[in-house]
Structure 1
C-alpha cells in the first residue's frame, strides 16, 4: 500500500474554532461549538461523548463530508474551506480513508475488487500485486477472490480497512468500526487500527461509544454539548474511560 501520509509527529488534521449549526434561523441546532483540536501522524485518537454530543458531526466536518458553519479544517496541509465541491470530493477520494460500522463493501465484487475500487474511481492504475499485498497486510492473504458473503464480519471490516488505506490517505476515519462485530473480531480490528498508527505512522481518528474500543487509542477526546470538555492521554483503560463517560452522561441527563 502507498505511504503518503505525513511524517510521524507532524500534524495531519487541524480543526480551528469549528462551529456547526443545523436547522433554520428560527430553530437552529448547535452541533459543534468552537471545537479546536489537532491530530498528529502516528497517533490513534478515540472521540467519545454522550448521545448528541457532536461526535459524528466532528467526524463529518473533519473528513470533509460536511462544511462547518464557522471555523476551519486542514487535512494534510490543505484548507478544506478553499475547495469547491469537486475538489473536495477528489481530496476525500485520494487523501482520506473511511471505515464504517456497516463495512460498506460492494456485495457483487470480490475482496480484491473492493480494495481496488477507490483507485478505479480515481482513475488510477490498479496493480494486482499491490492490492493483494494490502489484503495480506490486514491478514487476508489468499482471500482476495472471496465475495463479502463468504467472509465473516471481522474479515469484511479488514477488507474495508485495506480499501481505506490503498490510496495512501493522510488520515483514516473510523466510525464505530466494531459496532457490528463480536468481541473476538472487535479485538482483531482494534489491534489492526492500533498497528496502523504504531507501525505505519498512520493518523487514525475513531468515533466510538465503547470504552473497550477507546482503550486501544493513545488519546481520548470527550465531547459534550458540541464542545471538547475532557481529554485523556495517560492511563487509558476501559474502566477509566467508562468512568469519565458515565460522568458526562450523568451531567447530560
Structure 2
C-alpha cells in the first residue's frame, strides 16, 4: 500500500497506482478539493477496502482509480498504462476490457436472462463468448441453476451475484466495488463478501472496494482510510472492531 515514484513503479506488484493525484471540482471560490496529493499503490491479487467519513473522497478515489473520472493533477496507472494520457474513447475501451465494476445498484437489464446479463459486456464489445467460461463463472457465484431466470425472479443477493459474474466474465485486472453490499441485508451481504474474498484467494483477482461498513472492510487484506481527500492511515489484516475504532478517530487525524 506504500507510496511510490515513477522510477520504481515498473518493479512493483501494484495493479493500480496513484501518484500525486488531486481532484478539484469547480473553480475559484466554488472549488472543492475531493482528493489532495494522493500517492498509493494497490497490490495485485489482494483485496483492498477504502473507508472514510462522508465527504472524505473515497468515491472520488475509486472513480479516479478506475478511469471513470479525470484527475486534476498527478497520474493514475493501471499496470503499466497511464490513464491520464488517454482520451475518452481509449478509456472506454480500457474500462470495458480490463476493469470490472460492481455497484450498490445491481444495474441488471430486467428483460434479459442471467446468462445474457452476464455476457452483455462481451456482446457490446463484439468479443467472442466462451460458453464454458460463462458456465464456470455462474457456478462459482452459485447461480448455475439460474442461468435462464430474469432479475425479477431473483433475490437481491442473487442479483448482486449476477453483477459480480458480469464483472468477472472478461477476466478484469481489477474489480472495483462501490458499496456493493449497501443494499443488502446482513446475512446476504456476508455471502457476497465471502464470494469477493474467494475470488481473491482462489482466482488471484484484485478487488478494490469502497465501503462504510467495518464488517465489510474486515473481509479485505488491508483498509485504506481517507479524510478530507487525503490518505491518513492504513490497516493490514483488519478486524471489524479495529476498523470501527479507527473510523471514530478519523476526525481528529484529519
Normalising by structure 2, what TM-score?
0.93
SS in 2 for 1:26: helix
1:1-253 aligned at under 5 Å gives the runs 10-234=13-237, 236-249=238-251
1:240 & 1:10 partners in 2: Cα distance?
Answer: 27
Q: Deviations over 1:145-164 (max 9, x none)?
A: 01110111111111100100
Normalising by structure 1, what TM-score?
0.93
Residue pair 1:119, 1:125 contacting (<8 A) in 2 also:
yes
Q: Deviations over 1:13-50 (max 9, x none)?
A: 00101000001223110000001111122100000001
Aligned positions, number: 243
SS in 2 for 1:99: strand
1:203 & 1:229 partners in 2: Cα distance?
Answer: 22
Displacement, 1:127? Answer: 2.7
Residue pair 2:232, 2:253 contacting (<8 A) in 1 also:
no
Displacement, 1:185? Answer: 0.8
Displacement, 1:250? Answer: 6.0
Task: Name the structure, 1 or 2, with higher relative contact order (CA <8 Å, separation 6+).
Answer: 1
SS in 2 for 1:242: helix
Residue pair 2:19, 2:38 contacting (<8 A) in 1 also:
yes
Displacement, 1:122? Answer: 0.9
SS in 2 for 1:30: strand
CA change 1:251–1:231 in 2 (3 A) is: closer
2:33 & 2:202 partners in 1: Cα distance?
Answer: 38
Deviation beyond 4 Å, 4+ runs, structure 1: 249-252
SS in 2 for 1:130: helix
1:6 aligned partner: none
Displacement, 1:67? Answer: 0.5
SS in 1 for 2:28: coil
CA change 1:249–1:110 in 2 (3 A) is: farther
RMSD: 1.3
Q: Deviations over 1:169-195 (max 9, x none)?
A: 110000001000011110111011111
